[in-house]
Amino acid sequence: MTTLTGAGYLQKPFAETQLDELRTVVEGNLYTTYTLCRAVLPHMLTRGEGYIATIAGGSALDPGHGRSLFAASKAAIVALTKGIARDHKQQGIRANCLVAGTIATNQARRRLTEEDLHAAATLEEFADALIFLCSPTASGLSGSIIELNGREVD
């Protein structure tokens, strides 16, 4: 199965991939994250503080079959986030990455088995994790990788 979307999701074995597909996946995932972080950072630096929460899929840490390019683009988001945290920690900026496994969205409900859906994180859990990472309660975290994997851990 091959799936390539404008959002930068590609699923097929690495040997079947092309460089232009890697470019599309990186532009859809890493470039988008870079652009958003770059847009908010000057305002945070002016204030002398800020919280950045990036999002990467679980493939960033454990790619499934056919997800090598997608996983590479998501792993780059993890590295970018850690770099932002280190580069700007003295200026009061905290950056953390939420690595999300399956989220029980409406789209996921149409394609997942009941068991997989039960293991997925809820939208509320996803939102709560992001709110936490962007709150003073998370002030002790920076450059952290937080895994939101619901009940998927084997």
Residue in 123, 26, 38 with CA at minimum distance from that of residue 76: 26
- Token pair of 146, please? 């937080």
State the residue range of the domain holding 19.
3-148
Helix-helix angle 68-88:19-26, to 10 degrees:
40
Say yes or no to pLDDT of 5 above 60: no
Q: pLDDT > 70: what percent of the chain?
A: 92
| Structural domain includes residue 71 | yes
At 93 the three-state DSSP class reads strand
| Structural domain includes residue 129 | yes
| Structural domain includes residue 153 | no
Domain with 109 in it: what CATH number? 3.40.50.720
In the beta sheet, which residues pair with residue 54? 97
Q: What is the DSSP letter of 95?
A: E
Q: How many Cβ atoms from other residues are within 10 Å of residue 114's Cβ?
A: 8
| Structural domain includes residue 154 | no
- pLDDT per residue as tens digits for the range 69-112: 999 999 999 999 999 999 999 999 999 999 999 999 998 888 88
Q: Judge contact between 100 and 108, C-beta under 8 A.
A: no
pTM score of the predicted model: 0.90
Q: Which residue in the block uniquely carries the two structure tokens 């404008």?
A: 6
- pLDDT per residue as tens digits for the range 122-137: 999 999 999 999 999 9
Q: What's the total number of domains in the chain?
A: 1
In the beta sheet, which residues pair with residue 103? 121
What does the pLDDT read at residue 3? 47
